[in-house]
Chain A
Amino acid sequence: MTDQSTVTLFARIAPAKLDALRTLLATMTAAPGLADPHNAVIPFYQFQQIHMARFTILEALTNDDMRLHGRAPRPWPPTLAFVADIDGPVDVFLAELCIRCDAGLRQIFSHCLGFRSTHPHLLQWLHEHLEPAQATYTNWRGRTVLQVRQEQTLSATIRQALPDLMQQPANRNPNALRQQLRAHIEALQNNGEIELSAPQAAPIGRVLRRWLHAIGIPLLLLALLPIALIVAIPWLIWLRYLERSDPENTERPSADHLDRLVAQEDLNVTNHFNVFGQVKPGLFRRLTIRALLCLLNYAAQHIYHRGYLTRIQTIHFARWVLMDKGRRVYFASNYDGSAESYMDDFINKVAWGLNLVFSNGIGYPRTRFLILGGAEYEQRYKATLRRNQLPSECWYKAYPGLTAVELARNARIRDGLFARHLSQRALRQWAQDL
C-alpha cells in the first residue's frame, strides 16, 4: 500500500513583490484560482503522484480581531503556502519537483524572503521551509492517483459495455453478468487497452509501526488517566469561564471579500477551502487546540481513512497546521459540492467536531463544554468562517469531475469484478453499483 503524504511549505513573501507574485500565480490558472494543468511554471499534469495541490497567500485579513480580546494584534507578513497531497514520501516528491520545475520554482520563490533565483540549493531550501501539519485527513488511505485513473477508465469501459450486455436476459443474473464483464475486461487487459496495476505491498515495518501507534497512544493515555482526572476539573472550570467571557464576532464578511471567494467556487465538482485564523490569546487555548488536533489526527490515522470523517463523506484531503508559534491555525481542505452545502453539511452533521477545534479561534460563536453551541449558531458560524477564509491563488486536482463517493464506487466495482468469491448479497450489491 502506498501511503499518502501531505506537503505543507511556507515562505514569507517580500513585501514589495506581493502583487507580482499574485500576478505570476494567476498566469498558472485557466479560470479564477483553477490551475491550468499544463501551465509552464509548474506543469502539474506531469506529476503522477499529486492528487491535489495549491498555492495560497496567507494574509491575516482578520488580524485586528485580536483587539476583541483587548490586545494589540501581532504583525503577520504575507506568507506563501504550498500545499500538496501526494502519493509516497515527501522527499522523493520534492526532489522530482526540483528536477522537473527548477526554473518555475525559482521564479515563484524569488518573490519570497531569503531566496534568490540563483540560490545554489533549491531542494534544501524547500526542505527548510516545510512545516509539519498537526493533523491530516485522507479520504481513503492507500488510494493512489494511478489507481483513481485506472479505476475510472475501468468503470467507464464497463458502463459503455452495459447497454449491450443487458439486452441479453441472462445477464439480469449478476453472476452471469460478472463473468461476461470479467472476460471482456481481461481481453482488453491482454490487448494492453486497459491497465490495472496491482497495489504495492506495504513494508512490514510500516504496518507494525502503525499498529504500535494505534495501540500505544490509548495505552499511554490510560497510564496518564490519574493525572488527567486531576487536571480535568480545573481545566473545565477555566474552560467554562473563558467560554462565558470570550468575545464573539458579530461582523458579517464584506461583499467584496465574499465575491473574491465565490468567483473561484464551483468551477469543478470539488472546491478548495482555506481558513487562516488566530488562536484565542493565552496558554490555555494554545495547549487545548494542540491536544485536540493530536486527538483528531489519531482518529484520522486509525479510524477515519476509509471514505468518511465521522458523518462527512465529501472531503478528499484536509490538514490543520499551527503557525506563528501556535498562535494561528491554517486549515486547508478539498471537498465536493458548493461552499454553502459544505458549511451546512458540517453544521448539521458535525457541529460538535467543528467546535472542538475551531472554538479555540478568535471570534467563534459561543460554545458550551467545547462541543455544544458554537457552529449551531448557524449564521454567526458562517460569518466567522467566511471572514477567515482565503481564496487560493492556484489550485490543482488530478481527476476533475470525480467526487470522493465516485472514487469509492469505482474501487468497489473493480474489487467485485476480480474478487475470487462473492456472496449472493455482495454480488447483487456489486451489480447495483455498476
Chain B
Amino acid sequence: MGTGPVSTTRPGLHAAPEYDDIQGLVRYGHGHLSDSCFLLLQIQQADAARQWLEAAPVTSAATSESPPDFALQVAFSAPGLIALGVPESVIAEFDLPWQQGMSGNSGRSRRLGDVGASDPTHWDWGGESATAPHVLLLLYSQRGRLAEFQASLQDEVFDTAFLLVGDALTASAGGMREHFAFVDGISQPAPDWEQKLDPVSERDYRHQMALGELLLGYANEYGQYTARPLVDASHDPAATVLPPAAESPHYRDLGRNGSYLVLRQLEQNPHLFWSTLNHLAQGDEQRRDELAAAMVGRQRDGTPLEPFDQQGNTPPDSRQRANDFTFNGDPLGQVCPLGAHIRRANPRTGDFPPGANTLLKRLLRQLGFPRRHPGEDLIASTRFHRILRRGRVYGDVLSPEAALAGTDNTPRGLHFICLGTDLARQFEFVQNAWIASAHFAGLGGESDPLLGTREPLPGGEANDSFSLPREGCPAHRVSGLPRFVTLRGGGYFFLPGLRALRYLCTRRDGENH
C-alpha cells in the first residue's frame, strides 16, 4: 500500500478510457430515462449484500446500439465499505472527507454552510449514524416502468441483505427546469476522455477538464494522480481483478475508473422565492423577473446576462451563447452581478486575469502587477474547482404564477448530485469558498442568492443581502432575504469502477457472518 512517486504526464500517451469498466452515470446523465429513484440502504447481512451486488446489473458507460431501457448505478459510503468487510487499511487510503462523511464533524458543516435549519441534526437522513446510508442505488427507467425495474431488483437476496433508510428518493428528469423555474444544468465541464489535453499549458478558462478531475486513476489538472487506495496484490490476492496503477504499475488501482459522488437533498421553497421577489419588486412583474434573473445570472430560458464570449464577441448561436462566455468583460459585475448564482458556482476565470498574454506580462502578474481595479484577481484558476453535475429534480415544477399562489406546498426540490475525485478541492471548495462565502470576490454580507443560509456571520453581522453593482453609482442592495433552500439530507459516496466493485464484494477469510 502506498502512494508511489508523483508523476507528471505527457499528453497523448494514454490508452482510451475503459468505458466498460466505468459506471454509466459518469459519462451520461441518463436523460432519456425520465423516471428515477435513489435507494438509501444499510447492509444488514454482508454475505447477502456481496452476493446481490456481484449479480447486480450495474450499467456501464460503454455504448450500445440502442439506449438501455433501465440503468442502475451503485455507490458506497465509508460505513458501507466497512460493513462489506473491506480492510480498514484500504479504507484509510480513500479521500478523508469521504471517510468522515458529509455530516461527520461540525467544522465541515460550518464550511459547507450546513447550519441553522440545514444543520445535520435536522436532516431526514444521513445526519446521524442511525440514518446514514451504506449503499446508494440509483435507478433510472423509461417513463412508467420504474416500479417494474425496482421490483426486479428487490429480490429475496436483496431483502436479506439490505434495510431501506427512509423512503426512496424519487425524482424525474422533469424537463430542463428547476423549481425556481429556471433552465438548469447548462454549464458542465467537458471531460477530456481522449486525454489529449495538456492541462498545464491551457490556462485560460475552458470547458474541457482533465479526466483525472472526474475519474481516479487518470492525470488531474495538475498533471498528477490524485491519491487513492492502491493495493499490493501479493498481499491481497483478491486485488488481481483490479487494473494496475498508471503511475506505479506494481500496485493494483482500486480507484481507477471510480469517482466520488456527492448527494444533497435540497428542498426548495418556490412560493417563498417568488413572493419575496414580488414584494421587493412591489408587484411589478418585469422588475420581479429582472431581479430573479440577476440573482441567477441568467434569464429563465437560460440565456446568460453576460453577452460576451472569451474574445468579447456575441456568439450568434443561442445554444452556444448559453455556455460560451466568461465574465472577463464585466469584472465589476455591472452586467451580471458578482454574487449571481452562476458566477459563484463557476466564476469562469483562467489562471491569470485577462490580458496576461505575453511572458513578460505573466511574469509581472506573478509578482502581483499591474493592479487595474480593486478586487481584481481575487478569484482565479477555476479549472481546479470544477464538478460534473448529475442531479435530478423531485416534485412538480411550478410556474412563478402558480408558485406565487402558494396553493401547492408539497415538498419539492433538487437531488443535487455531483462527481469528482477530490472532495475538498472540488465540491467542498465550490460550496465553501464560492457559494456560501459572505466575502466572495470582495463582497460582504451576502452569500449565494438562491442557496444562502442567511445565518448571521460570526460577530453578528447580517448575511442576507444581494447586491447589484451599477456603473458610476453605489450598488443596488436588497436585504432581508429569507432562506429559499433547506438541506434535508446528504452524503459522500464512492462510485467504483466495475472491476473495483467486484473487488469490494470479495468475501474475506476470517470473517464471521
Contact surface of A with B, Cβ cutoff 8 Å: 162-163, 166, 171-172, 174, 177, 250, 252, 255, 258-259, 262-263, 265-269, 304, 308-313, 336-338, 340-341, 344-345, 348-350, 352, 365-366, 376-380, 400-401, 403, 405-406, 408-409, 412, 428-429, 431-434
Report if B373 contacts A (CB, 8 A): yes
Q: Among B3, B105, B438, which residue has its beta carbon within 8 angstroms of that of A259?
A: B105
Collect the chain A residues with CB atoms within 8 Å of residue B422's CB.
Answer: 379
Minimum C-beta distance from B255 to chain A (A): 13
**Is A377's CB under 8 angstroms from B224's CB?**
yes
State the CA gap A267–B106 with chains docked (Å). 11
5 nearest A-B pairs in the assembled complex, by CB-CB distance: A401-B459, A400-B459, A262-B107, A434-B474, A348-B381
Report if B111 contacts A (CB, 8 A): yes
**Is A308's CB under 8 angstroms from B100's CB?**
no
**Is A378's CB under 8 angstroms from B472's CB?**
no
- Known contacts being A266-B110, A341-B432, is A405 close to B457, with CB within 8 Å? no
**Is B439's CB under 8 angstroms from A405's CB?**
yes
- Known contacts being A255-B96, A266-B110, A405-B439, is A166 close to B433, with CB within 8 Å? no
**Is B459's CB under 8 angstroms from A311's CB?**
no
**Is B472's CB under 8 angstroms from A174's CB?**
yes
Minimum C-beta distance from A296 to chain B (A): 13
Collect the chain B residues with CB atoms within 8 Å of residue A250's CB.
Answer: 2-3
- Known contacts being A313-B377, A338-B433, A401-B461, is A269 close to B473, with CB within 8 Å? no
Collect the chain B residues with CB atoms within 8 Å of residue A304's CB.
Answer: 368
- Known contacts being A340-B424, A376-B222, is A431 close to B473, with CB within 8 Å? yes
**Is B380's CB under 8 angstroms from A348's CB?**
yes
Identify which of B2, B100, B367, B375 gathers the most chain A CB atoms within 10 Å of its CB.
B367
Minimum C-beta distance from B469 to chain A (A): 6
State the CA gap A48–B107 with chains docked (Å). 31
Q: Among A172, A406, A428, A429, which residue has its beta carbon within 8 angstroms of that of B439?
A: A406
**Is A400's CB under 8 angstroms from B433's CB?**
no
**Is A432's CB under 8 angstroms from B459's CB?**
no
State the CA gap A166–B474 with chains docked (Å). 9
Q: Among B227, B366, B424, B432, which residue has its beta carbon within 8 angstroms of that of A311?
A: B366
**Is A310's CB under 8 angstroms from B222's CB?**
no
**Is A365's CB under 8 angstroms from B107's CB?**
no
**Is B99's CB under 8 angstroms from A405's CB?**
no
Collect the chain A residues with CB atoms within 8 Å of residue B437's CB.
Answer: 337
- In B358-404, which residues have CB < 8 Å from any A CB? 365-368, 371, 373-375, 377-378, 380-381, 384-385
**Is A350's CB under 8 angstroms from B429's CB?**
no
Collect the chain B residues with CB atoms within 8 Å of residue A177's CB.
Answer: 473-474
State the CA gap A314–B363 with chains docked (Å). 21
Minimum C-beta distance from A195 to chain B (A): 21
Report if B458 contacts A (CB, 8 A): yes
Minimum C-beta distance from A67 to chain B (A): 18
Task: Report 8 cross-chain contacts, Cβ distance below 8 Å, ordered by A residue.
Answer: A250-B2, A250-B3, A308-B371, A336-B439, A376-B222, A379-B226, A379-B422, A431-B472
Collect the chain B residues with CB atoms within 8 Å of residue A308's CB.
Answer: 368, 371
Report if B475 contacts A (CB, 8 A): yes
**Is B474's CB under 8 angstroms from A432's CB?**
yes
State the CA gap A429–B442 with chains docked (Å). 15
Identify which of A166, A308, A348, A400 gathers the most chain B CB atoms within 10 Å of its CB.
A348
**Is B107's CB under 8 angstroms from A265's CB?**
yes
State the CA gap A266–B3 with chains docked (Å). 30
Collect the chain B residues with CB atoms within 8 Å of residue A340's CB.
Answer: 111, 424-425, 428-429, 432-433
Minimum C-beta distance from A359 to chain B (A): 15
Report if B329 contacts A (CB, 8 A): no
Q: Among A171, A255, A338, A345, which residue has its beta carbon within 8 angstroms of that of B99?
A: A255
**Is B227's CB under 8 angstroms from A400's CB?**
no
Report if B332 contacts A (CB, 8 A): yes
**Is B224's CB under 8 angstroms from A378's CB?**
yes
**Is B475's CB under 8 angstroms from A432's CB?**
yes
**Cβ-closest chain B residue relative to A311:** B368
Minimum C-beta distance from A316 to chain B (A): 13
- Known contacts being A310-B366, A349-B380, A409-B442, is A380 close to B96, with CB within 8 Å? no
Per-residue contact bits, chain B 421-450, to A (CB 8 Å; 1 contact, 0 not) = 010110011001100011100101000000
Known: A344-B384, A378-B224. 5 other contacts (CB 8 A): A266-B107, A269-B438, A308-B371, A401-B457, A409-B442
Report if B470 contacts A (CB, 8 A): yes
Report if B156 contacts A (CB, 8 A): no
- Known contacts being A263-B107, A348-B380, is A433 close to B222, with CB within 8 Å? no
- Known contacts being A174-B473, A177-B473, A380-B6, is A405 close to B366, with CB within 8 Å? no
Report if B232 contacts A (CB, 8 A): no
**Is B100's CB under 8 angstroms from A433's CB?**
no
State the CA gap A348–B385 with chains docked (Å). 11
**Cβ-closest chain B residue relative to A299:** B367
Collect the chain B residues with CB atoms within 8 Å of residue A365's CB.
Answer: 6
- Known contacts being A262-B107, A348-B351, A431-B474, is A337 close to B433, with CB within 8 Å? yes
**Is A405's CB under 8 angstroms from B378's CB?**
yes
Minimum C-beta distance from A378 to chain B (A): 5
Identify which of B106, B429, B473 gathers the most chain A CB atoms within 10 Å of its CB.
B473
Minimum C-beta distance from A262 to chain B (A): 4
- Known contacts being A262-B105, A266-B107, is A352 close to B366, with CB within 8 Å? yes
**Is A433's CB under 8 angstroms from B374's CB?**
yes
Collect the chain A residues with CB atoms within 8 Å of residue B509's CB.
Answer: none
Identify which of A163, A265, A266, A352 gathers the most chain B CB atoms within 10 Å of its CB.
A266
**Is B473's CB under 8 angstroms from A172's CB?**
yes
Minimum C-beta distance from A324 to chain B (A): 30
State the CA gap A310–B66 with chains docked (Å). 55
Minimum C-beta distance from A88 to chain B (A): 25
State the CA gap A7–B140 with chains docked (Å). 62
**Is A409's CB under 8 angstroms from B374's CB?**
yes
Report if B148 contacts A (CB, 8 A): no
**Cβ-closest chain B residue relative to A250:** B3
State the CA gap A163–B107 with chains docked (Å). 37
- Known contacts being A336-B439, A378-B224, A380-B6, is A310 close to B474, with CB within 8 Å? no
Minimum C-beta distance from B365 to chain A (A): 7
Q: Among B100, B444, B460, which residue has its beta carbon within 8 angstroms of that of A406?
A: B444
Collect the chain A residues with CB atoms within 8 Å of residue B475's CB.
Answer: 432, 434
Q: Among A259, A311, A338, which residue has its beta carbon within 8 angstroms of that of B377?
A: A311
**Cβ-closest chain B residue relative to A306:** B371
**Cβ-closest chain B residue relative to A172:** B473
Collect the chain A residues with CB atoms within 8 Å of residue B226's CB.
Answer: 379
**Cβ-closest chain B residue relative to A255:** B96
Q: Among A267, A310, A336, which residue has its beta carbon within 8 angstroms of that of B458?
A: A267
Report if B471 contacts A (CB, 8 A): yes
**Is B474's CB under 8 angstroms from A341's CB?**
no
Q: Among A258, A263, A409, which residue has its beta carbon within 8 angstroms of that of B96?
A: A258
Collect the chain A residues with CB atoms within 8 Å of residue B381's CB.
Answer: 344, 348-349
**Cβ-closest chain A residue relative to B437:** A337
Collect the chain A residues with CB atoms within 8 Å of residue B96's CB.
Answer: 252, 255, 258
